[in-house]
Chains A and B, each alone.
Chain A
Amino acid sequence: MRLKKGQEIIVNCYDDGTVEVKAEGFKGGTCYEATAFLEKALGRIKKTRKTSDYFRTKKVRDRIRG
């Protein structure tokens, strides 16, 4: 697992036992590859939400292809 400069994974562990993970600084779907080791170690994803950056990168990529 390699992270580049500016890429960070933030894990918030709350006192009610819930856990939230945020991937920052990634392009498109590479964020899922980056956090896969945590899901493997901790358990199952209950909810996921793609952020605006995820879609922005995808659109740029689609425009280049088109």
Chain B
Amino acid sequence: MSHVDVIEVDCSDLDVVEEAIKRLHPGAVLTRNQGTYRWWGRSVGDYPIPEGFKASDLGKCEHAIQFPGITYEVGIVKNPKGEGYVFIADFWDSALRKTCGNHGTLLKQAYTVEKTKRAAIKAGLKVKETKRSKLRRLFRKDEQSLGIQLKISR
């Protein structure tokens, strides 16, 4: 072993988002240039407004994700702090929270898995995917989490 990194993932590839959402629900749809996403409609302060956004920004997006049977949608907006996009939604909706994770963590995870697989295959490498209920963390070895492990080899 020679090094360990923690990577801050930038969501920049909409084609990968389209593949990633199918991991969460096979009927999920990405609508490009939708302009708005469905949510409660006004901020009532029960959920913090994401960093870099104002209350008046909520509900506006570039693109949006719909999941079958879930009223609220996930907006994809330009990252106000850097490269690519960020996911924004009213995660008060428990069905949306269950599908995407609180604050979209499962959506980010699905994007990372798909983007990693695509990059490795493009580089001519093999990828083996394993879902683990207790995946030991690399930086905090005493902690374990539910996760997906990708092993990349020649």
Please give the residue numbers on chain A whose beta carbons come within 8 Å of chain B beta carbons, in ascending order. Answer: 1-5, 7-28, 30-32, 35, 37-54, 57
Contact = CB atoms under 8 A, between A and B. Distances in A.
Contact residues of A: prevailing secondary structure: mixed
Interface string B137-154: 111000001111111111
Interface residues of B, number: 43
B107 to A, nearest CB: 8
Given A9-B152, A11-B116, A21 B147 contact: no
B5 A15 contact: no
B1 interface: yes
B44 interface: no
Given A14-B146, A43-B9, A47-B5, A8 B153 contact: yes
A25 B1 contact: yes
Interface in B1-48: 1-10
B86 to A, nearest CB: 11
Given A11-B152, A15-B147, A38-B116, A23 B7 contact: no
B116 A48 contact: no
